[in-house]
Amino acid sequence: MSGYRTDAAIATGNGWTIVENASLEGRNTFRVKARADLLVDIHDDAALEEIFAFRGLAERPVLVLGEGSNLLFAGDWPGIVLSMATRGIEVVEDDGVQALVRVAAGENWNDFVHWSLAHGFAGLENLVLIPGTVGAAPIQNIGAYGVEVGDAIAGVHLWDRRDRVRRHLARDDCAFAYRDSLFKRDAERLLVVAVDFRLDRRPALRLDYAGIVTELERLGDGPPTPRRVAEAVARLRMRKLPNPAVIGNAGSFFKNPLVDADTAAALHAAHPELPQWPAAAGQVKLSAAWLIEACGLKGWREGDAGVSAQHALVLVNHGRASGAELWNVARHVVDGVRARFGIALEPEPRIIGG
């Protein structure tokens, strides 16, 4: 016997547990094998001060993990994985129309969307069924069906690992943009502890994204309500995207590329069917899925790693693919799109060890 311990808790304290040489296979939606030197589960954020005061922990690389639905482990994590498993939804203010609601980082995002609907609030309905935690939602400013979470965020409560202090950032200081935020650029330093949402009981429905109105009509008579919009969006999502419970994936693997107006016009002239949408600062957003499909890569696979046959923007693990194999497929897709269209696709998920 080597005496090598795997997945046995080596220490527990008030609100935390530490496991040495931990498997992360069940903690990422690609379901690839990976390990961390130490895995720390935080059940009470008051434990952060204690955890980061431990000598030997404070200086090592830290990866904050939610539900692992926007990560690719192309290798092991050579340090500490810190999993935010805190829970709690607190109504901080409520004037009968608007409310300020504070949600712990470890709450499940989709559960919170349903909590908001059940309490009569509007604004999050288009973001239903996005996997992951509330704490991860501001990191890439999750978005779907014409809405981004930054629109509903009032502020974010953080643990600043470098300065070992708690901070609060108001929404306007979070630098939210398409699949981007301040937090994404400083991943090792800023840890989201809780998110404040400004929720409103007066619906301002966003029905402009392709497919919503048709899906509402399919649902039957009656005026659209936040709950009905959520149901329509959920049905669209279940039809379009492969379910990670059935086949490992991390949603869109690439961001939709942003290009300037001249590049967009030239591409439109050559490929009038390429979907384009207006974006911030005069830029134009292109459909990455269309570009990948036009390269003949939809459904392409090498071993168990491949491009989904259901949606060209999603990479899938057909069974036993490793993270490194999936990363090779990603690079093959990037090369193909660059060679054919001169466009550089960027991964959306965080790549570990690639």
SS3 26: helix
Catalytic choice (179, 287, 322, 325) = 179
Closest to ligand EPU by CB, 27 vs 298, is 298
Q: Is 310 exposed, middle or buried (0-12, 13-18, 19+ CB in 10 A)?
A: middle
Q: Smallest distance from the beta carbon of 209 to ligand EPU, in angstroms?
A: 6
248: nearest Cα among 349, 111, 113: 349
Among 241, 258, 313, 345, binds ligand FAD (CB under 6 A): 241
Q: Smallest distance from the beta carbon of 67 to ligand FAD, in angstroms?
A: 4
Number of residue whose CB is nearest ligand EPU: 251
187: nearest Cα among 70, 91, 19: 70
69 part of the active site? no
Among 110, 126, 133, 322, binds ligand FAD (CB under 6 A): 133
Give the one entry of ligand FAD, ligand EPU, none that residue 187 binds, where binding means its C-beta sits below a cut-off of 5 to 8 angstroms depending on kind. Answer: ligand FAD
Question: What is the distance between the alpha carbons of residues 345 and 93, in angstroms, rounded to a whole number?
Answer: 43
Burial call 87-121: b when 16+ CB within 10 Å, e when fewer: eebeeeeeeeeebbbbbbbbbbbbebbbbbbeeeb
5 part of the active site? no
Number of H helices, E strands in the chain: 8, 21
Question: What is the distance between the alpha carbons of residues 345 and 315, in angstroms, rounded to a whole number?
Answer: 14
Question: What is the distance between the alpha carbons of residues 159 and 169, in angstroms, rounded to a whole number?
Answer: 11
Give the one entry of ligand EPU, ligand FAD, none that residue 244 binds, where binding means its C-beta sits below a cut-off of 5 to 8 angstroms depending on kind. Answer: ligand FAD
Q: Smallest distance from the beta carbon of 125 to ligand EPU, in angstroms?
A: 13
CB count within 10 Å of CB 162 equals 9
Token pair listed for 315? 């990479």
Q: Smallest distance from the beta carbon of 26 to ligand EPU, in angstroms?
A: 20
Contact between 143 and ligand FAD (CB under 6 A)? yes
Q: Are 60 and 77 in contact (CB under 8 A)?
A: no
Among 87, 119, 255, 350, binds ligand FAD (CB under 6 A): 350
The conformational region for residue 37 under phi > 0 = left, psi -120 to 50 = alpha, else beta, is alpha
Closest to ligand FAD by CB, 99 vs 157, is 157
- What mask of x and - would describe binding to ligand FAD in positions 84 to 123, judged by CB under 6 A? x--------------------x------------------
Among 32, 51, 66, 81, binds ligand FAD (CB under 6 A): 66
Strand ranges (E), 53-189: 62-65, 71-73, 77-84, 89-94, 98-104, 143-144, 147-148, 153-160, 165-170
Contact between 191 and ligand FAD (CB under 6 A)? yes
Q: Smallest distance from the beta carbon of 152 to ligand FAD, in angstroms?
A: 14
Distance of CA 165 to the CA centre of its chain: 25
Give the one entry of ligand FAD, ligand EPU, none that residue 105 binds, where binding means its C-beta sits below a cut-off of 5 to 8 angstroms depending on kind. Answer: ligand FAD
179 part of the active site? yes
Q: Smallest distance from the beta carbon of 91 to ligand FAD, in angstroms?
A: 21
Closest to ligand FAD by CB, 89 vs 268, is 89
Q: Rule CB under 6 A: which residues touch ligand EPU?
A: 144-145, 209-210, 240, 251-252, 255-256, 275, 287, 289-290, 293, 298, 311-313, 348
Question: What is the distance between the alpha carbons of residues 207 and 267, in angstroms, rounded to a whole number?
Answer: 28
Q: Smallest distance from the beta carbon of 66 to ligand EPU, in angstroms?
A: 14
Question: What is the distance between the alpha carbons of residues 228 and 221, in angstroms, rounded to a whole number?
Answer: 11
Give the one entry of ligand FAD, ligand EPU, none that residue 110 binds, where binding means its C-beta sits below a cut-off of 5 to 8 angstroms depending on kind. Answer: none
- As annotated, the active-site residues are 179, 252, 348
Which residue ranges make up the site for ligand FAD (CB under 6 A)? Answer: 29, 63-71, 84, 105, 130-133, 135-137, 139-140, 142-144, 183, 187, 191-192, 241, 244, 249-251, 350
